[in-house]
Amino acid sequence: MSTMDIRIYGDSILRKLSKPVDSFDEQLMAVAEKMYEIMFEADGIGLAAPQVGVSKAFLVIGMPVEDEEPERLFFANPVILESRGEDSFEEGCLSVPDIRADVIRPEWIKLKYQDIHGKEHTLETDGLLARVLQHEIDHLNGILFVDRLTPARKSLLKNDLQKLAKKGAKSEADLA
């Protein structure tokens, strides 16, 4: 396995459409394990495979649980089937460090996905989990939360994003 580092805004892998997961094997489990490690280390609650340089459609989530270790969740090939409502919430992203902004998204979603063994499930959820899932599923499609800001808000962040993009392109070159 090559080095897995968090890829930063400006790295082209964050803009690619990830490929479906088709083998649910030990390799997948190993990458997922490593992703949990990287995510908890960085105090994140969600991490999508493209963020660590793996252009595959899966993601991990560590849902905060009071007084306990976060609950580990894994989603492969997730597809949102239905969504309802509207909610504004301040988001951040391990690939877009030091930038936080309110993003409007549906508050309730129904999705289908496969677990780490390839078994299919459907899930209806809202609140924080729905929020994190939508953010991470966007990553699988090459979309970042800053793409979902109003043009006015985005233009305020323009300089910060340009600085990040230089860093991101450099990290990409270093890893290549």
Choose between 114 and 139: whose C-beta lies nearer to Zn ion.
139
Give CA separation, 142 vs 16, 72, 135, 167, in Å: 5, 23, 11, 18
Interface segment toward Zn ion; rule CB under 5 A; list 6-14, 86-94, 106-114, 148-156? 86-94
- Select the residue whose beta carbon is closest to Zn ion and give its number: 93
Kind and range of the H or E element at 30?
helix 26-41
Q: Which is nearer to Zn ion, 44 or 114 (CB)?
A: 44
Task: Confirm whether 136 is a catalytic residue.
Answer: yes
Number of residues forming the site for Zn ion (CB under 5 A): 1
Q: In terms of C-beta density within 10 A (0-12 exposed, 13-18 middle, 19 or more buried), how is residue 52 classed?
A: buried
DSSP state of 170: H
At closest approach, how far in Å is the CB of 25 from Zn ion?
A: 26
Q: Kindly indicate which of the ranges 5-13, 21-29, 68-76, 91-99 contains the residues binding Zn ion, using the contact rule CB under 5 A.
A: 91-99
Residues 29 and 160: their CA atoms lie apart, in Å, by 35
CB-nearer residue toward Zn ion: 4 or 118: 4
- Among 61, 93, 101, 137, the residue binding Zn ion under the rule CB under 5 A is 93
Phi and psi angles of residue 8, each rounded to the nearest 5 degrees, phi first: -105, 145
Binding to Zn ion in span 45-64, by CB under 5 A: none
Q: Which of 69, 90, 91, 136 is catalytic?
A: 136
Four-point Cα dihedral 58, 94, 138, 27, nearest 10: -10
Binding site for Zn ion (CB under 5 A): 93
Query: Which residues are marked as active site?
Result: 136
